[in-house]
Amino acid sequence: MAEGTGVLIIGDTSGGELGSTTLELLAAGQAVATELGEELAVALLGDTVDVPAQQAIAHGSQKVYAVNHPLLAQYQIDFQLTAVEALCNEISPRVILVARTNEGRDLAPRLAFRLGVGLAQDCLEVSIDPAEKKLLANRPVYGGNAIAVVSCEETPQIAAIRPKAYEPTEADHSRQGEIVSFPVELDTSMARTQVVDTVIEEAEGIKLEDAHIVISGGRGLGGPEPFAHLEELAKVVGGTVGASRAAVDSGWVPASYQVGLTGKTITPDLYIMVAISGASQHMAGCSGSKVIVAINKDAEANIFKEARYGVVGDWETVLPALTAALKELTQA
């Protein structure tokens, strides 16, 4: 690909609205585009993207490429990849930013391969080397024990950014931008796989990644039954329940509860960790929490190095007392 210019975000939509991860990417993209002194654009794929296109402009995009096609109405990697590759070959962006969602993990490495470049995965922050205009990406290594700064040497420079790494900027509906229709040629023969069924998991309460208060349990709870106590506390404080990988792998709670490097990334105002040791893999998914409270009977547990407040004690004693005290406070 020829030497590129500008920053391109591969956006996503949900329920006819711009996806939350795209709002986060726009915050990252604005910073990078400003450092480069170049244009920020968003690619939106679907059968109709008019509303999210306007939202993208309100949140900082100068241009939106509307890639409309009936076969893009639902995510299917072969169609998505073909459409994005065609757009990139046409406009030659310098930087491409993708959210590291399930779809992003699927799309980003394939796109990098198609374009003949590398990929900076699971990035927490991106910036520009002013001397060479190279993308610099901060990403966790060694299971989250260290942060490496990697650079992208080939154009386009592609980075997959971890959800919740950036705070979305406020919308400015007075902003003006350009919406460009980008037609693509797709047909069903391109699909090497097909969706045979879609199962929607019914969920109650607040989504884990959107919650302001999260109470998570770990291996030290000893089984699935104690999670009922966490649910009770979550109801008292208006939060939701999460879990460590060990608890999920043991089958105590569904995988959707998992917080950590291979689970969900959360940034709550308050994170209460019950019987979780604080391994780096777990902390990689919750290090953005504003306040961490730890309850663990092991005074030497690593979590006490990370927590602002800690209680050394058996959860069976501490948790009921905490729940009772918070009930009194909330009912007073």
Q: Which of 287, 289, 283 is nearest to 267 (CA)?
A: 289
pLDDT band of residue 332 (cuts 50, 70, 90) is: low
Per-residue pLDDT, 74? 86
In a domain, 195, yes or no: no
Torsion, CA 226, CA 228, CA 231, CA 237, rounded to 10: -80
Whether residues 15 and 160 share a domain: the answer is yes
In a domain, 182, yes or no: yes
The answer to whether the CB of 293 falls within 8 A of the CB of 271 is yes
The answer to whether the CB of 230 falls within 8 A of the CB of 237 is no
- Does the pLDDT at position 16 exceed 90? no
| Rounded (10°) angle between helices 77-91 and 102-115 | 50
Q: Please say which residue of 159, 190, 221 terminates a domain.
A: 190
pLDDT band of residue 150 (cuts 50, 70, 90) is: very high
Rounded distance between C-alpha atoms, residue 94 and residue 3, angstroms: 7
Half-sphere exposure of 80 (CA within 13 A, CB side): 23
- Main-chain phi, psi angles of 247, to 5 degrees: -70, -40
Residues in the chain, total: 332
Q: Please say which residue of 138, 157, 190 terminates a domain.
A: 190
The answer to whether the CB of 184 falls within 8 A of the CB of 45 is no
Long-range contacts of 47-50 (CB under 8 A, 24+ apart): 47/72, 47/73, 48/16, 49/13
The answer to whether the CB of 112 falls within 8 A of the CB of 103 is no
More confident of the two residues 2 and 109: 109
Whether residues 235 and 288 share a domain: the answer is yes
Q: Would you report the helix, strand and coil content of the chain in percent, each value rounded to 5?
A: 35, 25, 40
**Parent domain of 158:** 7-190
In a domain, 255, yes or no: yes
Q: Which of 282, 288, 285, 318 is nearest to 302 (CA)?
A: 282
Mean pLDDT for 227-247 is 95
CATH of the domain at 247: 3.40.50.1220
Mean pLDDT for 45-64 is 92
CATH of the domain at 19: 3.40.50.620
Whether residues 270 and 151 share a domain: the answer is no
**DSSP 3-state assignment of 259?**
strand
Q: Which of 55, 63, 68 is nearest to 23 (CA)?
A: 55
Please state the domain count of the chain: 2
Q: Pairing mode, if any, of strands 7-10 and 40-46?
A: parallel
- Quick: pLDDT tens for 274-303: 999 999 889 988 988 999 999 999 999 999
Whether residues 74 and 32 share a domain: the answer is yes
> What's the whole-number average pLDDT of the chain?
91
- Does the pLDDT at position 1 exceed 60? no
In a domain, 14, yes or no: yes
- Quick: pLDDT tens for 205-232: 788 888 999 999 999 999 999 999 999 9
Whether residues 115 and 11 share a domain: the answer is yes
Whether residues 274 and 131 share a domain: the answer is no
Whether residues 29 and 128 share a domain: the answer is yes
Whether residues 219 and 87 share a domain: the answer is no
Whether residues 116 and 260 share a domain: the answer is no
- Does the pLDDT at position 196 exceed 90? no
In a domain, 230, yes or no: yes
Per-residue pLDDT, 47? 82
In a domain, 2, yes or no: no
**DSSP 3-state assignment of 153?**
coil
pLDDT band of residue 191 (cuts 50, 70, 90) is: confident
- Does the pLDDT at position 2 exceed 60? no
The answer to whether the CB of 63 falls within 8 A of the CB of 85 is no
Q: Please say which residue of 190, 218, 252 terminates a domain.
A: 190
- Quick: pLDDT tens for 99-148: 999 899 999 999 999 999 999 998 999 999 988 889 999 998 877 778 89
Whether residues 230 and 273 share a domain: the answer is yes
- Main-chain phi, psi angles of 9, to 5 degrees: -100, 130
Q: Which of 33-42, 83-92, 277-286 is the least confident region?
A: 277-286
Whether residues 73 and 142 share a domain: the answer is yes
